[in-house]
Amino acid sequence: MNKLILLCAILFINTLSAQHIYKNRKFFGGSFYINNESLKDVSLGESTTDADGNDYFNNTPFIKNQPKVSKTNSRIRFDMRYGWFPIDMLAIGGDFDIASNSYNSEDTTFLMSTYMQNKSSEFTIGPFVRWYMFEVGRQPYEIGAIFLEGAYKFGTGTSTDTYRFEGVQDSLSIIFSGEEKYSYLTTKATAKLGFSMYLSDFISHNWFTGFLIALEPSVQYDWITRKDMATDPLDGGIKKRKETSTGLRFNIALISYF
């Protein structure tokens, strides 16, 4: 009798572990990305110094009159999502993105100096639909599931351009600087192919209180539009600038099924 109860319990637990993408189950998770890129060196004709022996790239702050080229680019992106299965193998839900970008460029020679900076931030939110095409491996020993996902998000963003120019022309010093800030509306249509890779029971049940944890690598194609909120005064205050861009990127997310 005890062996029969134990066998039923094992079968019940295995059945539950195989039902995380079935009707009425849920999942929650997201991804975080941070990147910083800076110019390391500059060379012309395979040489890093000019005829006077000065470096093209000034990597020391102690030589003030040396030509200088500096470029840095930083990106931060945070994504969070929640999904629910109305039927087996099909999930619907919503997610939101927060993104921040910063770009700095400085070019200094003996006669002129140019500095440019752009900082932008963006927030988008919207629904998605995900279809799990099939699981890899037999229950209860499946290792993951391949899915297709479509999403549409909308939101707002801000961008600030700062610039400064100093130079000499005809023995006259020229200095001008300025700042332009604008807000825009954005939409993003996304198609994604991914694999939900289930982590081991030890990780899920000992560190995540029984939730099934999965890593989700995916390939994503984005169609993005951005449209200024303010009108362009150069066009009589009628037209608004609109940008359309596409992109392909690889992403890894951490998801919890419960």
Q: Across the 258 residues of the chain, what is the mean pLDDT of every consecutive 10-residue run? A: 45 46 91 84 70 64 62 90 95 95 82 86 96 83 89 95 80 79 93 90 57 90 89 60 90 90
Determine the pLDDT at residue 16. 40
Q: What is the four-CA torsion angle of 244, 248, 253, 256, rounded to 10 degrees? A: 70
Q: How many domains does the chain have?
A: 1
Number of neighbours of residue 125 by Cβ within 10 angstroms: 13
Of 41, 34, 129, 56, nearest in space to 86 by CA: 129
Contact call for residues 72 and 2 (beta carbons, < 8 A) = no
pLDDT on residue 95: 94
Phi and psi (nearest 5°) for 2?
-65, -40
Cis peptide before 140 (omega within 30 of 0): yes
Tell me how far apart the alpha carbons of residues 23 and 127 are, in angstroms, rounded to a whole number: 19
Cβ–Cβ < 8 Å for 82, 61: no
| pTM, to two decimals | 0.73
Structural domain containing residue 145: 2-257
